[in-house]
Amino acid sequence: MRVVMLCKACVVGIYQRKLEEIAARGIELTVVVPPAWEDRRGRIELERTHLSGYSLQVLPIRFQGNYHLYHFVGLGKLLDSVGPDLLHVDEEPYNFATWLPMRWANRKRVPTVFFTWQNILRRYPLPFSWFERYAYEHAAAAIAGTEQAADILREKGYGGRVEVIPQFGVDPERFSPGEKGDASRPFTIGYAGGLLPEKGLDLLLRAVAGIDLDWKLELLGAGEERQRLEALARELEIEERVVFMPRVPSEQMPDFYRGLDLFVLPSLTTKSWKEQFGRVLVEAMSCGIPVIGSSSGAIPEVIGDAGIVFPEGDVEALRQAVRRIAGDAALRKELSERGRKRVLERFTHSMVAEATVELYKSIVEGAR
């Protein structure tokens, strides 16, 4: 079976491990990626990390960084040359990058799958509502990253097949627990991802500022909030305890997690967004690091009973959660074990690939 997947997210090297797992299950896989992706978190150049068993094709894109309008240049010729049995567009149904290849697939009678994280009921103006309706009418199936996203698809009128499969998992051998850190070092709290207003990092700074213990906070990533967060740290007189770290290659992320005692994702819901998954939680859990997350979006669904969920925006609740974990070694051990177990049961690349391939096979066999 020949499958073409379009996936800008696969510029990240660790995500490519899922592609190897899909190919290992008998799929002749071609994956189309851009040479880089740039958004509010900065620019990510293509990492060539896991390339075995499938073909990675790099095509230029127009409207770099614009989620709704970007699209691949020269895609039609590539699709004609591959002649896929199925097209997997790893994009939201309302984006131009979904509509354009789906139109090609419809002309060629090639079944198509799209992906969605959207977990807020939003209506889009023209032409995006047209793109969305076209996807709903012509897709053989949809993949929703969470149960919330599947519910929104149904509420918006999609009547086709929906499978709930995370977009990516983790490699549990690479993202694995490490040796215990130096007991004399400060209790180390971490965050990784975009330094953006909706990530609630100002709340995290205010929460840890009121904790009377020897702590350090490491914030890894880039984004428009950095200067404001640095100023807030100075205002709270904790700047010597807060470390801002630049983004690192994805393969180095396990080392970051293993240096932590606790990982926190304090996301805040806005009018147009709420946390769609929180992949960094899964990575930290896989490394055996206890996690705290806010109640925004899919975070409770991801954490389950393997961490602490606090009401989003509640600084005191977050402070108490950090204090509780910092002061209870037995609880840290329990959450570490629960988190690792939850990842192995739900969130590995192998499991994501297996479910994805099952969907591919059922669609192609049905079409035949």
Residue 314 placed within a domain: yes
Let me know: does 30 contact 82? Beta carbons within 8 Å.
yes
Residue 60 within a domain: yes
Number of domains in the chain: 2
Whether residue 181 lies inside any domain: the answer is no
Domain that includes residue 68, residue range: 2-169+348-367
Domain-located, residue 179: no
Residue 176 covered by a domain: no
CA distance 344 to 48: 25
Same domain, 52 and 128: yes
Per-residue pLDDT tens listing for the chain (368 residues): 999 999 999 999 999 999 999 999 999 999 999 999 999 888 999 999 999 999 999 999 999 999 999 999 999 999 999 999 999 999 999 999 999 999 999 999 999 999 999 999 999 999 999 999 999 999 999 999 999 999 999 999 999 999 999 999 999 999 999 987 677 899 999 999 999 999 999 999 999 998 999 999 999 999 999 999 999 999 999 999 999 999 999 999 999 999 999 999 999 999 999 999 999 999 999 999 999 999 999 999 999 999 999 999 999 999 999 999 999 999 999 999 999 999 999 999 999 999 999 999 999 998 76
For 180, other C-beta atoms within 10 Å of its C-beta total 9
Same domain, 328 and 354: no
In a domain, 153, yes or no: yes
* Same domain, residue pair 142 and 198: no
In a domain, 331, yes or no: yes
User: Within 13 A of 71's CA, how many CA atoms are on the CB side?
Assistant: 15
Whether residue 151 sits in one domain with residue 6? yes
Verify cis geometry, omega within 30 degrees of 0, for the bond prior to 127: yes
Asked if residues 106 and 66 have their Cβ atoms less than 8 Å apart, the reply is no
Structural domain includes residue 180: no
In this structure, what DSSP letter does residue 356 have?
Answer: H
In this structure, the answer to whether residues 303 and 360 fall within a common structural domain is: no
Q: Do 162 and 194 share a domain, yes or no?
A: no
Is residue 275 domain-shared with residue 194, that is, in the same domain? yes
Pair 148, 228 in one domain: no
**Does 25 lie in the same domain as 57?**
yes
pLDDT at residue number 181: 67
Q: Could you give the 3-state DSSP secondary structure of residue 204? A: helix
